């Protein structure tokens, strides 16, 4: 009887092994892969730092621009926008620069970052006060450090009286609220025409002009304006802005003037 052939058992020691050159190539590949990973990570950290700095500068410019939009003065808007265009260039026109070594923090001092932007003037910061007066059809002169608001006498008082008319109270209260909120100073000046007056309450135009200024002052104090931030004076008929020879001129001279500013006109403590 013939026997079946048996499978030959191979000695593991006799199996072929990878040559030394293949092992060396494999180790070299692993080393290059690890180095590439570290380099990619360092580049990512560096790119994030540069991107974050650019984003911060763009956000600062954006908020300055938003502030300029709240200002109705077209000239001031153009000033702010022009300043932005001078300090930020188009991306395709920018010159590439070498970044700092990987892991090094970039410190940009805030004063240097915002240097060159136009400083906000009194008229810009407190434009809402002037806007409220103009909304009530009062004449407003916007100066760099103050507002001069003229309130027509006929709209505020009856002839020969110092009591404020009810219909003008909402507009005056709105102005007073803004003065209070922004801790501004207000000078109230009363003016009359040159027509003589002689009553028990007001023996002269001077007395009438003072009483009318005090009426506005009392309203502001009732609203909550700090008493130390407001003053009243009467100028009588002695500071006319028009001729007293005509009805229109005399009507223009009968007025109350509000001078709104950030500084105490008497030179006191601005707290």
Instruction: Summarize pLDDT for 109-127 with one digit per residue, the tens.
Output: 555 544 555 567 888 889 9
The answer to whether 192 and 238 have CB atoms below 8 angstroms apart is no
**Phi/psi at 209 (5° precision):** -65, -40
Q: In angstroms, rounded to a whole number, what is the distance separating the alpha carbons of residues 91 and 49?
A: 18
* Residue 266 within any structural domain of the chain: no
pTM higher than 0.75, yes or no? no
Element spanning 203, H or E: none
Provide the number of structural domains found in the chain.
Answer: 2
* Residue 10 within any structural domain of the chain: no
Q: Are residues 138 and 205 both part of a single domain?
A: yes
Q: Are residues 92 and 206 both part of a single domain?
A: no
Mean confidence (pLDDT) of the chain: 80
Residue-range definition of the domain harbouring residue 251: 122-261
Instruction: Tell me how far CA of residue 11 lies from CA of 4, 15, 16, 17, 177, in angstroms.
Output: 22, 7, 11, 13, 101
Q: Are residues 173 and 46 both part of a single domain?
A: no
| Ranges under pLDDT 50 in the chain | 89, 91, 113-114
Q: Are residues 98 and 132 both part of a single domain?
A: no
Q: For residue 5, how far is the Cα from the chain centroid?
A: 98
Instruction: Summarize pLDDT for 18-69 with one digit per residue, the tens.
Output: 556 666 666 766 666 666 666 666 666 566 666 777 778 888 877 777 776 6
Q: Are residues 84 and 164 both part of a single domain?
A: no
Q: In angstroms, rounded to a whole number, what is the distance separating the alpha carbons of residues 74 and 95?
A: 33
Q: Are residues 99 and 157 both part of a single domain?
A: no
Q: What is the CATH number of the domain that holds 248?
A: 3.30.1330.60
Token code pair at residue 103: 């892991």
Element spanning 209, H or E: helix 205-223
Instruction: Tell me how far CA of residue 249 lies from CA of 96, 164, 242, 263, in angstroms.
Output: 67, 22, 5, 32
* Residue 161 within any structural domain of the chain: yes
Element spanning 48, H or E: helix 20-69
Pairing of strands 185-191, 230-234: parallel
- Among 114, 131, 162, give the residue marking a domain's end: 114
Give the pLDDT confidence score for residue 63 in this predicted structure: 77
Q: Are residues 76 and 141 both part of a single domain?
A: no
- Among 81, 114, 147, give the residue marking a domain's end: 114
Give the pLDDT confidence score for residue 58 in this predicted structure: 84
Q: Are residues 32 and 84 both part of a single domain?
A: yes
């Amino acid at each position: 009887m013939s026997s079946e052939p048996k499978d030959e058992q191979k000695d593991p020691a006799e199996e072929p092994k990878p040559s030394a050159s293949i092992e060396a190539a494999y180790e070299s590949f692993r080393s290059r892969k690890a180095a590439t990973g570290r380099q990619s990570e360092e580049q990512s950290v560096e790119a994030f730092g540069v991107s974050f700095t650019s984003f911060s500068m763009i956000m600062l410019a954006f908020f300055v621009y938003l502030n300029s939009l709240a200002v109705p003065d077209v000239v001031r808007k153009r000033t702010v926008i022009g300043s932005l265009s001078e300090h930020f260039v188009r991306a395709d026109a920018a010159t590439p620069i070498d970044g700092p070594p990987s892991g090094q923090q970039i410190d940009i001092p805030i004063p240097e970052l915002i240097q060159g932007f136009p400083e906000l003037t009194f008229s810009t910061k407190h434009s809402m006060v002037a806007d409220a007066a103009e909304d009530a059809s009062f004449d407003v002169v916007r100066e760099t450090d103050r507002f001069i608001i003229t309130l027509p006498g006929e709209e505020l008082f009856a002839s020969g009286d110092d009591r404020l008319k009810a219909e003008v109270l909402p507009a005056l209260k709105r102005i007073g609220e803004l003065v209070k909120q922004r801790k501004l100073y207000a000078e109230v000046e009363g003016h009359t025409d040159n027509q003589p007056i002689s009553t028990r309450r007001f023996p002269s135009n001077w007395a009438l002009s003072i009483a009318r200024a005090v009426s506005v002052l009392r309203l502001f104090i009732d609203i909550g304006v700090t008493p130390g931030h407001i003053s009243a004076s009467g100028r009588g008929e002695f500071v006319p802005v028009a001729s007293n020879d005509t009805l229109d001129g005399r009507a223009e001279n009968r007025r109350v003037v509000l001078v709104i500013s950030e500084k105490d006109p008497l030179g006191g403590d601005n707290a």
